Structure 1
């Protein structure tokens, strides 16, 4: 009889994830926990990319992927260029994804916090600013929507992009901003990343950073206990051009 073992993987903020060992097969299992905006895509569509692990199966309850043994991803020039190339390939593809839901996500998170007593003043101060930004954004580019450093994984010199549950159409600058601020890139790292990516609009990128950090702030303050410190997020909101 083949051996069978299920090991919980720690680190996610929302979903329960496991490593499933069936004989000589290793499988990554995510138990789906739904909100209004995730798991809307047809996952088979993103498997056309060579930087997405093999999709094994999917149903309403869970999704199974090929398990990738990972190494520490250093944010050096070589890897930053690879990350930029991955996003460029996604953004210039014509894959069909759900319509942009960035404004709805923004409004939903803000409304959830209306009556919360303890919250940073930036949640009120930047709400209208964030709404104005999202109203000016493109809504036709395929996006990952969560490409921070933990969703880029390294294995045998190859970088993969995982965790596609929020993928939708939108503005490419949102993904770029998410990678830059979500990975805490310094100015030199940011330049390497953006130079490798190619054409972008500096003003839209600045605005996208505000939107990314604001969405992160309102998302994290819906938790009873913050999943991580909000200090860097708030500091990013106050950065000057």
Structure 2
């Protein structure tokens, strides 16, 4: 039900399509002199808020760090849509909960 309600919120706003990684957890981000993303197998065009939500969830940002991260990402170009972000956080969490549930039960084959 939470995911359904989240999709209803997302539908209220126009999509902001970008080339997205779609799997931005800490093991897919290399930190060095520059930040690099690896493992692009799930990449595609989707709303930018999906990857932003993934980073906020995966790095367990508190509200202060979340705000700082988003202000740095967007700069002064636009206002952050926090309602859309919250909805995508729910979608992201639900997606990976289902994925890991199916993986544990052998319903996902990582070899293919």
Alpha-carbon distance, 1:135 to partner: 4.5
| 2:88 alignment partner, one of 202, 205, 208 | 208
Alpha-carbon distance, 1:186 to partner: 2.0
Partner of residue 101, structure 2: 221
Q: What TM-score, normalized to structure 1?
A: 0.37
SS in 1 for 2:103: coil
**CA contact 1:138–1:171 (8 Å) conserved in 2:** yes
Between Structure 1 and Structure 2, how many residues are aligned? Answer: 100
Q: Distance in 2 between the 1:133 and 1:164 partners?
A: 28
Q: Distance in 2 between the 1:187 and 1:128 partners?
A: 24
- Computing the radius of gyration from Cα coordinates, the structure with the larger value is 1
| Unaligned ranges ≥5, structure 1 | 1-124, 226-241
Q: Distance in 2 between the 1:147 and 1:175 partners?
A: 7
More relative contact order, 1 or 2 (CA 8 Å, 6+ apart): 2
**CA contact 2:22–2:43 (8 Å) conserved in 1:** yes
2:30 paired with 1:150: no
Q: What TM-score, normalized to structure 2?
A: 0.74
**CA contact 1:139–1:169 (8 Å) conserved in 2:** no
Bigger strand share:
1
Bigger helix share:
2
Alpha-carbon distance, 1:187 to partner: 2.3
| 1:177 alignment partner, one of 33, 49, 53 | 53
CA RMSD of aligned residues (A): 2.1
2:12 paired with 1:132: no
